[in-house]
Structure 1
Amino acid sequence: ALGGAGRAGAGGGAARSEATAGSARYRASENGSGMGAGEDTVGSSRGGGAAAGGGTQATRLSVLTFNVLAPCYKRVGPPVPREPLEASLGAPRPRRAREASDPATWLARQRACIAEIEAARADVCMLQEFQLDNADFVSLYEDAFAHTYEMFYARRPGKADGLCTMVRREALRVVGGGAHSVTLVPKGDRVATILAVQRRGDARTGTGEGGAAGAPTLLLCNTHLSFNHGKLWDRRVRQMQAAALTAALRRRDAELAAAAGGGTGVADAYVIGGDFNGDREEFVFKHMIGWGYEDAMGVTCSTDGGVVTHLTHNGDAIEADYFFVLDRGDTRGGGVTKGEPRSRAVAFASSELLPQGLSNTAWPDEHAYSMSDHRPLKAELDWLSASAPVDTDDARAGQVVPAEAAHAVF
């Protein structure tokens, strides 16, 4: 079902807090980690770009996904031992306390998460396990970000946490009536937030349900899929969630097209980020690739040695966090003949795990990184258009770079 997503008040009336790490153990590096919109230095070894002809230009946008590990889920303290008799009878081990019971601890950890997000300076931030039932938790993030970003929330049905999606005001404008929250399937209590955005400063940007006719538009999606505990039903639920996710993007695109006066879609591309709770060999990843999506790390980095973004509660180090893009520049106008060069609208330019300086193929030692059981993933993409957005009021509003500076077609 589609419905309006929660949103922080526009204008960012909350005072900004200086989010600094509560302890050195939360930060592996004090260096700024990432580039802001408009910086045309690319850190990847290879990337995807678009063929561009006379006058076509590209806007560099940055996106970040990060599961911040809600305090209501994080266990703290050493394991509680069982009495010998209890152990011999197979009694379950007593559970450790939740971090939510210790405000000083979770505040320090979340301030470290905020500091990492601030340092990344992304145009779009997609956060998971955002504890929406805790007013202090929400206020902490709004104090840090509401003056710079529009913030949209989607709570999981019957759960304390959900999603927070943040869009930098000076770079992008949310159109199409705001955010839409999607419940993927009845079982699993998983949601997605879908946003239609246009570049701030594009003369064709409009405020209507479908945005301005002809203005370049992206569909952004933030999600968090269920964990696979090894049961058949878990696998089946994840399959249904993946199918529902890709269908929701197509449906939303069609709705916006209908509101704009017809057509099969308005979006140049779909950009999906989040915690997918599965590696590249699992069904969900293969489903995304099968539908034509490309993943940021696969396009811009070597994944031969395996990528690790998450340490599960079982102690397994896996890749679970992704950015996917489905370029629709060659399909909105009816497609292209097989064998012809593709005219791409959006392509990944770089990607990296944060903080910088840590291995991409192993989970870091807790003394080097302990702010979450996930690492932030940042990606940059080039968004091409036939007309350059101009915004003299905003210094960082999606700075335009010549398309010939973009990477070659792949």
Structure 2
Amino acid sequence: MVVASGSGVANLNLRKGKVGSSYNNVMKGGDNSDSECCSSSSMVEVERNPSCISFTTFNILAPIYKRIDPKNQSRRESDSRSSWLSRNQSILNSLLAESSSIMCLQEFWVGNEELVHMYEERLGDAGYHLFKLARTNNRGDGLLTAIHKEYLSVVNYQELFLNDFGDRVAQLLHVQSIGPVLQNQMGTLHQEFLIVNTHLLFPHDSSLCIVRLHQVHQILQYVELFQRENRLKPMPIILCGDWNGSKRGHVYKFLRSQGFVSSYDSANQYTDSYADSHKQWVSHRNHRGNICGVDFIWLCNPNQPRKPLKTSWAEAVFSILKYQLRKASLSEDDAFTFLKGDNCGDAVTYFNFYEALRRVKLVDVPNGLCFQQFQDLWNQADVDGNGVIDLEEFKQKIWNSTCPEPMLESFSDCMEDANTATEHEAIGFKVKNAMLFPREAERGHWPENYSLSDHARLTAVFSPAKMRCYGSQNYS
């Protein structure tokens, strides 16, 4: 077990896991609700190219969390074996009908041996290697990642423990295609990529924005560490899971600034302007009855320009600070005055800045920023390094700053080239298709007769693409 350095909100531990475990015997799903869980136009029918790789992410709603009596919130599905058994058999039927190359499940009930055994048997018999990981502090649920061994092999597997407020975890896998996907002058090329399966904290209130942002930051830090320590060549990174946040949130914008694209939005050409005039897709009806889009399969190709991670993180925190100030109905001038505090001058001092962040509950609170994180923020805001933040620096770094699209510091000037093979050639992915089930979720509706989970199932199909990368990725 390796303890992460430089952690703040969370101390993230990393543990190596066993690669490759197969299971035998079949347990048939004794359930008659296949019509509900199996789409008539699954991704299997949409895309049959053998070089393509399909990913499914699905929060399957652990029975220990599924409420079954509106009048008695303490009653859960876990109290009724017949209920959770039938529903999970249907879930397995739907997953096996989809038969994706990789399945990433969240809220997998690791605390129930019978359910775990059922998934191991049915998915194992269908040809999948299974990797499961429980959340810390015996929460009862966790993650399950299944890799189809006929098409893919797992080179390395590691478990990430955030040890944070929500006891969150993540799985990191280095995967390679069994067969070649492309050919160049040097011979055949195999697809390699990194995949992460995770489930972020639910935003019970705005004070947890910083915790959720830090969870993603920690995961990306470890992906970069993993790439460095294993001296990996440039390859795609795929992040799957329940992110518990929408396209309007800080986490979404942070990942965009790191070069990631949402596969569903990319495949269906969703943009912010489109969402403004059309009903946006959804993937979750939460315990409050609200419907929202929170499940993502993120893709970052090896030729994608990326900001330094520390820079993107600071911009995201400044975005949270601005949100808190505007939430208090402060104008630009009022916000600057708030940051100045009792300072009579025309600048924000180090002490004033700390006190302002304390008042908006970003520091000096449980799960808030640690000293080093605050120091990094200060260094970003004090552009000229003179020990204070003047009005122009405030406007540039906080008030008018955004967490923008990938860009700016493009330290790998890349382009696609299908004919020229160089030592900088890499194989990335193109998003071929993406689909939500139930299909009504794509139109912003949640069907009342859908009962597999409180989440929709998201599947995306990627095809390999040659890419030329000049220089190396920046890891900071």
Q: TM-score range by the shorter chain?
A: 0.7 to 0.9
Q: Is the 8 A contact 1:310 1:363 kept in 2?
A: no
Query: How far 1:283 sits from its partner (Å)?
Result: 0.6
Residue 2 in structure 1 maps to residue 85 in structure 2? no
Normalised to the residue count of structure 2, the TM-score between the two structures is 0.64
2:285 to 307, 311, 327: 311
Please name the residue that 1:35 is paired with. Answer: 44
Query: How far 1:142 sits from its partner (Å)?
Result: 1.0
2:179 to 197, 201, 209: 201
Distance (whole Å) between structure 1 residues aligned to residue 202 and residue 63 of structure 2: 18
Structure 1 residues 203 and 324 mapped into 2: Cα distance closer, same or farther (>3 Å)? Answer: closer
Structure 1 residues 352 and 30 mapped into 2: Cα distance closer, same or farther (>3 Å)? Answer: closer
Higher Rg of the two aligned structures: 2
Q: Is the 8 A contact 2:171 2:197 kept in 1?
A: yes
Given residue 209 of structure 2, which amino acid in structure 1 is its aligned partner? R
Query: How far 1:242 sits from its partner (Å)?
Result: 1.3
Q: Is the 8 A contact 1:37 1:62 kept in 2?
A: no
Distance (whole Å) between structure 1 residues aligned to residue 123 and residue 168 of structure 2: 25
Residue 220 in structure 1 maps to residue 195 in structure 2? yes
Percent of matched pairs sharing the same residue? 25
**Unaligned ranges ≥5, structure 1:** 41-57, 81-94, 205-213, 258-264, 387-410
- Give runs of aligned pairs for residues 267-286 of structure 1, distance below 5 A: 267-286=234-253
Per-residue CA deviation, residues 87-119 of structure 1 (Å, 9 max, x unaligned), is xxxxxxxx3311101000001111111111111
Please name the residue that 2:143 is paired with. Answer: 163
**Unaligned ranges ≥5, structure 2:** 1-12, 183-188, 307-409, 418-426, 468-476
Query: How far 1:336 sits from its partner (Å)?
Result: 4.2
Task: Report how many aligned residue pairs link the two structures.
Answer: 328
Please name the residue that 2:415 is paired with. Answer: 341
Distance (whole Å) between structure 2 residues aligned to residue 359 and residue 330 of structure 1: 30
Three-state SS of the structure 2 residue aligned to 1:284 is helix
Please name the residue that 1:189 is paired with. Answer: 167
Please name the residue that 2:315 is paired with. Answer: none
Q: RMSD of the TM alignment (CA)? A: 2.7
Please name the residue that 1:145 is paired with. Answer: 123
Distance (whole Å) between structure 1 residues aligned to residue 466 and residue 249 of structure 2: 35
Query: How far 1:201 sits from its partner (Å)?
Result: 2.8
Distance (whole Å) between structure 2 residues aligned to residue 69 and residue 8 of structure 1: 26
Distance (whole Å) between structure 1 residues aligned to residue 76 and residue 229 of structure 2: 42
Distance (whole Å) between structure 2 residues aligned to residue 331 and residue 302 of structure 1: 21
Q: Is the 8 A contact 1:32 1:119 kept in 2?
A: no
Given residue 273 of structure 1, which amino acid in structure 2 is its aligned partner? C
Query: How far 1:358 sits from its partner (Å)?
Result: 2.7
Distance (whole Å) between structure 2 residues aligned to residue 36 and residue 254 of structure 1: 39
Q: Is the 8 A contact 2:291 2:446 kept in 1?
A: no
Distance (whole Å) between structure 2 residues aligned to residue 219 and residue 291 of structure 1: 15
Residue 325 in structure 1 maps to residue 299 in structure 2? yes
1:350 to 411, 429, 433: 433
Please name the residue that 2:447 is paired with. Answer: 365
Normalised to the residue count of structure 1, the TM-score between the two structures is 0.74
Q: Is the 8 A contact 2:38 2:97 kept in 1?
A: no
Query: How far 1:28 sits from its partner (Å)?
Result: 5.9
Distance (whole Å) between structure 1 residues aligned to residue 108 and residue 180 of structure 2: 32
Residue 100 in structure 1 maps to residue 78 in structure 2? yes
Please name the residue that 2:351 is paired with. Answer: none
Query: How far 1:7 sits from its partner (Å)?
Result: 6.9
Query: How far 1:199 sits from its partner (Å)?
Result: 0.7
Q: Is the 8 A contact 1:6 1:154 kept in 2?
A: no
Given residue 268 of structure 1, which amino acid in structure 2 is its aligned partner? M
Structure 1 residues 293 and 73 mapped into 2: Cα distance closer, same or farther (>3 Å)? Answer: same
2:133 to 132, 154, 178: 154
Please name the residue that 2:69 is paired with. Answer: 77
- Structure ranking higher in helix proportion: 2
Given residue 254 of structure 2, which amino acid in structure 1 is its aligned partner? H
Q: Which has the higher contact order (CA 8 A, sep 6+)?
A: 1
Three-state SS of the structure 2 residue aligned to 1:345 is strand
Given residue 75 of structure 1, which amino acid in structure 2 is its aligned partner? R
Q: Is the 8 A contact 1:351 1:380 kept in 2?
A: yes
- Give runs of aligned pairs for residues 112-123 of structure 1, distance below 5 A: 112-123=90-101
Q: Is the 8 A contact 1:18 1:144 kept in 2?
A: yes
Per-residue CA deviation, residues 56-106 of structure 1 (Å, 9 max, x unaligned), is xx92110000000001111112414xxxxxxxxxxxxxx331110100000
1:384 to 431, 440, 465: 465
Structure 1 residues 2 and 219 mapped into 2: Cα distance closer, same or farther (>3 Å)? Answer: same
Structure 1 residues 23 and 121 mapped into 2: Cα distance closer, same or farther (>3 Å)? Answer: closer
Structure 1 residues 241 and 36 mapped into 2: Cα distance closer, same or farther (>3 Å)? Answer: farther
Q: Is the 8 A contact 2:103 2:145 kept in 1?
A: yes
